[in-house]
Amino acid sequence: MCRSIKTLRPPYTESVTEEDVRAAALQYVRKISGFRAPAAHNAEAFDRAVETIAKASEELLGALEVRGSR
């Protein structure tokens, strides 16, 4: 069901795409919900959670200051 969520900040990853962030968010929601794909009656909540987590992840990655990366 799951693959590891990879670290998305330097120095582990040089360039992170929106796709990378969304994949990590999707994996997180799958893991905590226990569903690989939600039933139709849960799809909206599932998709909303993925989008919310992706947005929060992008904000976090944009705000982090990694020492020694300048």
Q: What is the pLDDT of residues 49-69, one digit of tens each?
A: 999 999 999 999 999 988 876
Q: What is the pTM of this model?
A: 0.84
**Residue 46: how many CA atoms within 13 Å on its side-chain side?**
16
What confidence tier does 3 reach under pLDDT thresholds 50, 70, 90?
low
Gap between the Cα atoms of 56 and 20, Å rounded: 14
18 pLDDT more than 90: yes
Q: What is the pLDDT of residues 23-55, one digit of tens each?
A: 999 999 999 999 999 999 999 999 999 999 999
What is the token pair recorded at 60? 């976090």
1 pLDDT more than 50: no
Gap between the Cα atoms of 37 and 4, Å rounded: 17
Gap between the Cα atoms of 8 and 19, Å rounded: 11
